[in-house]
Structure 1
Amino acid sequence: MQASSGNKARVVTEGLAFGESPRWHDGRLWLCNWGTGEIIAVDDHGNREIVLTVPAVLPYSIDWLPDGRLLVVSGREGLLLRQEADGSLVTHADLRGLSKSPWNEIVVDGRGNIYVNGGGPAPAPGQQFGPGTVVLVTPDGAVRQVAENIAFANGMAVTPDNRTLIVAESHANRLTAFDIAADGSLANRRVWADLDGFPDGICLDSEGAAWYADVPNKHCVRVVEGGEVLQTVNADRGCFACMLGGADRKTLFIAAAEWRGFEHMTGDARTGQVLSVEAPAPGVGWP
C-alpha cells in the first residue's frame, strides 16, 4: 500500500544550483551546492550562509568527525579533506590509489569510522559509470576497500547501534545493507529494500524506516525493510537527497532541482531548492 503525504512541502530556500549531501548540524541544515564549490548552511527561516568554498565543482559531500571537524570528499580529485580549527583544508586521506573514478558520498559512524563510496573501475565503453565501491577510513587513518560492485553508489546511512550500513544503489533500484564488524569491515551483504524508483540520498528514522530521494520520479519516499512504502512526498522537480532535522529531528528537508542531464550540471541554471515537510518520526543514526 502506498500512502501519499498529507502535507505539502514548503520551500525553505531557493536559487541554488544542485543541493546535495544535506546534513543537520549545529541547529542548521548544511548542504553542498554542486556546481559552485560552496558549502551552505540554512536555518529554519531560510536564511543561508556560505560557510566554506572548496576546490571542487562536483561531486563533493560532507560529514563530521566525532571531534567536530568537518570532512569534505573532493570527488574528482580523489581526496578526503579535513577542515582545521583555523579554517584551512588539509588532506585527511588520499583515495587516488583506490580508484580513478570520482568518489561520491560519505558517512561517519558513531565510532569515527568513515565510509566513502563511488570510485570503482572505469565504465565500460558506452556506459557513463562503472560499478562502485565503498572504502573505509578508520580513526587511525588506514584506508581500505570494504565493498565492491555497487550499482551507482549514492546515499549511505548507519543505524544508531553502529551495526548496519545501508547504501543506496541507484542503478539497481534498491537499498542494500551490510553488517558492520568491530573493525569497521562490512559483511552479510543483502537487499534491505527493492524499490520502484532510483534511490539517491537517504536518511533513517526512529521507527526503523528509511527515507530516500528519487530524481527521475520527483519525490521522496519512506520505506521499511522489505520495501513496503509508508509515505511519499511529491515535488515538481528532481529530489536529490533528504535529511531529517529541525529542533526535534522531525522535519524532512529535501534537496531538489530540475534535472537536465549530467552535461548541464555546471550550467547557470539555479533551480535548486530546499523543501521541508513534517515527518512522522525523528531522524536517528548517521548522518
Structure 2
Amino acid sequence: MSELRTWLTDLGLLESPRWHDGRLYFSDWTAHEVIALDLDGKHEVVTRVDSLPLCTAWQPDGRMVIVDSARGLLLRLEPDGSLATHADLTGIGRGWNDIVIDGRGNTYVDRVGFDMLAGGAFSPGAVTQVSPDGSARDVADGISFPNGMAVTRDNSTLIVADSYGKRLMGYDIGADGGLSNGRVWADLGDGVPDGICVDAEDAVWYADVPNRQCVRVREGGEKVRTIDLDRGAFACELGGEDRTTLFIVAAEWRGMPEMVPPGTGQVLSAEVEVPGAGWP
C-alpha cells in the first residue's frame, strides 16, 4: 500500500468521485454532503442533499446534476448555489443510484430493483435515459445490481457495473441516446464492481468493496493492474493535471445494517500510466 497517498480521513460512506475543472468532487453519504477537494488539499462542502444514495454528474454546460434518490428527482446545482428540479423520475421507479452524462448531454441513471436497506425481496434493476429536455425512459433492464457507470470517450458505449453479477455490462449508445446490444463487457470472476471510470485505452478501473481493491480491466476480462487497500474501495476516478491520478474513495464495510462506521471514510490516490478519458 506504499503507492497510496492519503488526502482526507475521518469521513463517512464516500461515493461518486468526479473530476471537474481542476477539483475532485465526491459525496459523503453519511453527512449528505457533496464536497470539492483542491489539489492543494483544501476542501469545502458544495451542497447538501438529504438522500442516500447521493451521486453526481456534470452537464456539458458545466452545471452539476445530483441524484436525490430519496425523492426520485434529479436536481441541478445553479450558479447561485440553489438547487432546481432537473427531472422527475417518480413515475418510472425508485431506488435510484448512480448517474453519468455523456458528451452529448444524454443522462443515464440506474436503479436497484429492490429495497436493499429494508431487506426487500430481490428483483433486477434497470438504466433510465434522461434527455436534455427532461423526458425519461428505460433503456436497459435485467441487471442484477446496477452500480457504477461510465461512457467511453467516443460516446459509443455505456458500461455498467453489475455488482451482484460480478461483471461489467456494455451497451451501444444510439444517436437518440437509446441503448442496444447489451452484453457482458468483462466477466470479473470474484470481482465485485462498484464505482468505475474509463481511461484513454478504453480500459476500466473498478472499485471493489469486499475485496478491498481497485482493478484495471480490459474488455473481455483481462485484469492488468490491482491496487490493494486496507478497507473497501467504493468508487474511483481518474483526475489530476494529466488525468493520471486515480482517486479512490474508501471506507470500512461492516455489512448490513451498520454498513460503514462513521469516521472510516478516506480519499486516497495512486498514480497510473494511462490517463482518464470519457465520462465521468
Q: Distance in 2 between matches of 1:116 and 1:36?
A: 22
Q: Please list, as runs of the form range in 1=range in 2, the aligned pairs for 1:113-152 lying within 5 A after superposition.
A: 113-120=106-113, 127=120, 129-152=122-145
Match of 2:12 in 1: 17
Match of 2:151 in 1: 158
Q: Please list, as runs of the form range in 1=range in 2, the aligned pairs for 1:193-208 lying within 5 A after superposition.
A: 193-195=186-188, 196-208=190-202
Match of 1:279 in 2: 272
SS in 2 for 1:208: coil
2:39 paired with 1:44 = yes
Q: Is the 8 A contact 1:122 1:130 kept in 2?
A: no
Name the aligned partner's letter for residue 180 of structure 2. Answer: A
Match of 2:247 in 1: 253
2:220 paired with 1:230 = no
SS in 2 for 1:264: coil
Q: Distance in 2 between matches of 1:121 and 1:213?
A: 22
- Structure 2 unpaired stretches of 5+: none
SS in 2 for 1:284: coil
Q: Is the 8 A contact 1:244 1:250 kept in 2?
A: yes
**1:171 aligned to 161, 164, 174, which one?**
164
2:71 paired with 1:77 = yes
- Computed over aligned residues only, the root mean square deviation of the Cα atoms, in angstroms, reads 1.7
**Percentage of matched positions with identical amino acids:** 58
Q: Distance in 1 between matches of 2:194 and 2:174?
A: 25
Normalised to the residue count of structure 1, the TM-score between the two structures is 0.93
How far apart are residue 142 of structure 1 and its match? 1.1
Q: Is the 8 A contact 1:14 1:272 kept in 2?
A: yes
Q: Is the 8 A contact 2:114 2:120 kept in 1?
A: no
Q: Distance in 2 between matches of 1:128 and 1:23?
A: 32
**2:206 aligned to 202, 212, 219, which one?**
212
Q: Is the 8 A contact 2:67 2:97 kept in 1?
A: yes
- Structure 1 unpaired stretches of 5+: none
